[in-house]
Chains A and B, each alone.
Chain A
Amino acid sequence: MRPQSRDKGADMKSWRAIVADDEENLRIGICLMLKKIWPQLDIVARAENGTEALAMIREKRPDIAFLDIQMPGMTGVAVAKKISSFCKVVFITAYDRYAVEAFENEAVDYILKPASEQRLQVTIDRLKKQLGQGTTGDGDDQRIQKVIQVMENRQAPKYLRLVKVKTGPDLRFVPVSQILYFKAEDKYTVVQTQDHEFLIKTPIKDLEGQLDPGRFWRVHRSAIVNIDQIKVIKRSFTNQMMIGFEGIDQTIAVSRSYEKLFKQM
């Protein structure tokens, strides 16, 4: 644990900190600013990425960790999740509306980039006060964990943007906006673009869950179409609803139960 200090004032005690940011200028810059505003602070390590930060925090056991959120290896949030029970965390972020909202709500310390000395001073005054009172610990940890939870939950659903296909020996990524439709054929799924046809192994029912439902509609047990790419919807002689696309002759049949999707069009 932290060495006991006989001094009551936090300023008298030498607190130990670590700074983690993947951009060198920012890492050095934050350190310089900290040295100027809080000369007694002992910066025991500087980390260039998340993985390094976690390892250094575990090894050096600092009192405070200044963590950039977007870092390679591991995000600052992921690092905080593991260490906030024994180390005070101050997040550094360039821009993150939601994160800042969460920090404010839970009174978690953060620094916005570009950091001004005045703003850093406010954060440091608060840190000193908290450290002096010895209020780091469980309460702090809980607040941080809560913020992390908020940040993890609010992540917008991420839809598939690229579909990985194999063409001969090469791997290719087809942007979903190029895809006209997906159609089940035997054990494979046909991925149709204007000038290519690819085969993938992912079944239609799995794809349905991964694609943006605002753009990709299931119109048949065996087919999903990109509604942005529809050129014409017509009926065949047998009154079957058919979808035609720009640039290709193939059409996709709409099964009766899905016809209502197009009723308003």
Chain B
Amino acid sequence: MKHQKEYAKSLAITAVLDTGIALVLHQMVLEDATFLEVLVVSQLTGLSICSFVHLGLFISDRVQHGWMGACIAAGLISGIVSGGVLSWGYLAIMHDPDIPHYFSRVFSHIAVFGVVFGVPIIYFFISREKLAASEKKIQDEKIKRLTMEKEAAMTSLRLLQAQIEPHFLFNTLSNVIMLFDMDVEKAKKMLIDVNEYLRISLERTRQEMITLSQELDLVRQYLDIFKIRMGKRLSFEIKDRTGLDNFSFPPLIVQPLVENAIQYGLEPKVEGGTVSIDCWQDNSMVVIEISDTGCGIDENESQGGIGIDNVNRRLSAIYRQKATLSLTENTPCGLKAVIKVPI
């Protein structure tokens, strides 16, 4: 649609220009030819140059933008050649006795004028197109940036909501309150744990990068809280075998998956189970495995939490295609999440 409109517009401009060229040439140089002949040759040459250049632009648009210059040059040459052929044909019909001489005079003048006037016009059109394209690019960039900003804000909001998920918060505080009547020391410890957990969570939503061991510390804190709540129904182990002391790692990647393991794997299971976190190095990647022995994923209800979605989005935003998250069935039961990030 856009191309057709542009094409029609430039054909009209070319036709007007061609008429002007024909008038000038007929008055000043080619007095022996009829005006009609000069006009027809001028139009044939001009319009075919215009058409071929447009074809060139159209092809460069479809193929690759880097080829635009070459496509225009090819269009210009093809236009001159086809204009020449058409003009020759036209003149041959009208003037068979003296074609070569007559043709070379009329056509060479027109071709020169055509190129002299045509090139600036083409240049004008192209630069206008380029301007429009760069404006569009700026606009696109702006949209992209705004979308990313919005995405980032949404992510930190979602993360924050996930951290202080109401069920987690109120159930945990209930535990603290109840514990005060049963075991004051335990209650105090739990309150300190919760306090620390909330403080770190709030800080993390504003941090872009922390270290893997900091992330594992938060996970330990979270699991400590759950251990008090779930009692013997929960056991957990955290192993860091990477040997990397300060491995830079985005916050809240492991934690949401652990939360998922608890919420969808162990809490709904009557007898509970174990969450295991293990980290190691493999071919310049750090592998983090979070597995649980919970109730796994129901065939008909494979929903998981929003956690997985979040982690997935964040990993691809931070590492592009270089990080992966895969979820498999754990043996003998439950779910296993494996994160791989480049070192």
Which A positions have Cβ atoms within 8 angstroms of B? 22-26, 28-30, 32-33, 48-49, 51, 70, 72-73, 94-95, 112-115, 158-164, 170-178, 194-195, 237, 247
Q: Which residue of A lies closest to B330 (CB)?
A: A171
Contact present for A25 and B327 (CB under 8 Å): no
Task: List 10 A–B pairs whose Cβ atoms lie within 8 Å, in order of A's numbering.
Answer: A23-B229, A25-B174, A29-B177, A72-B270, A95-B170, A114-B173, A164-B302, A172-B328, A175-B308, A175-B312
Given contacts A23-B230, A160-B302, A175-B327, A29 and B181 within 8 Å (CB-CB): yes
Given contacts A25-B178, A25-B179, A25-B182, A161 and B309 within 8 Å (CB-CB): yes
Give 3 closest A-B pairs by Cβ, nearest first: A29-B178, A95-B166, A114-B174
A-B pair number, CB within 8 angstroms: 122
Contact present for A177 and B229 (CB under 8 Å): no
Interface flag for B269 (CB, 8 Å): yes
> How many Å from the CB of B83 to the closest CB on chain A?
27
Contact present for B303 and A162 (CB under 8 Å): yes
Q: Which residue of A lies closest to B176 (CB)?
A: A114
Cα distance A24–B233 in the bound complex, in angstroms: 10
> How many Å from the CB of A28 to the closest CB on chain B?
6
Cα distance A113–B177 in the bound complex, in angstroms: 10
Cα distance A177–B155 in the bound complex, in angstroms: 14
Write out the residue numbers on chain B whose beta carbons fall within 8 Å of the beta carbon of A162. 297, 302-304, 308, 327
Contact present for A158 and B328 (CB under 8 Å): no
Contact present for A94 and B304 (CB under 8 Å): no
Interface flag for B313 (CB, 8 Å): yes
Q: Which residue of A173, A178, A237 contacts B302 across the interface (Cβ within 8 Å)?
A: A173
Q: A95-B169, A175-B308, A237-B62 are in contact. List 18 more A-B contacts (CB 8 A).
A: A25-B174, A29-B178, A29-B182, A51-B270, A70-B267, A72-B267, A94-B174, A114-B178, A159-B303, A161-B303, A162-B304, A162-B327, A164-B297, A164-B302, A170-B328, A177-B308, A178-B312, A195-B324
Q: Which residue of B62, B171, B312, B313 contacts A113 across the interface (Cβ within 8 Å)?
A: B171
Interface flag for B231 (CB, 8 Å): yes
Write out the residue numbers on chain B whose beta carbons fall within 8 Å of the beta carbon of A163. 302
Write out the residue numbers on chain A whose beta carbons fall within 8 Å of the beta carbon of B44. none
Interface flag for B167 (CB, 8 Å): yes
Cα distance A195–B309 in the bound complex, in angstroms: 17
Which residues of B324-343 have CB atoms within 8 Å of chain A's CB atoms?
324-329, 335
Contact present for B301 and A158 (CB under 8 Å): yes
> How many Å from the CB of B212 to the closest CB on chain A?
22
Q: Which residue of B169, B173, B267, B329 contacts A171 across the interface (Cβ within 8 Å)?
A: B329
Q: Which residue of A lies closest to B327 (CB)?
A: A173
Q: Which residue of A lies closest to B181 (CB)?
A: A32
Cα distance A158–B306 in the bound complex, in angstroms: 12
Interface flag for B211 (CB, 8 Å): no
Write out the residue numbers on chain B whose beta carbons fall within 8 Å of the beta carbon of A174. 327
Which residues of B224-239 have CB atoms within 8 Å of chain A's CB atoms?
228-231, 233
Cα distance A33–B180 in the bound complex, in angstroms: 12
Cα distance A48–B299 in the bound complex, in angstroms: 26
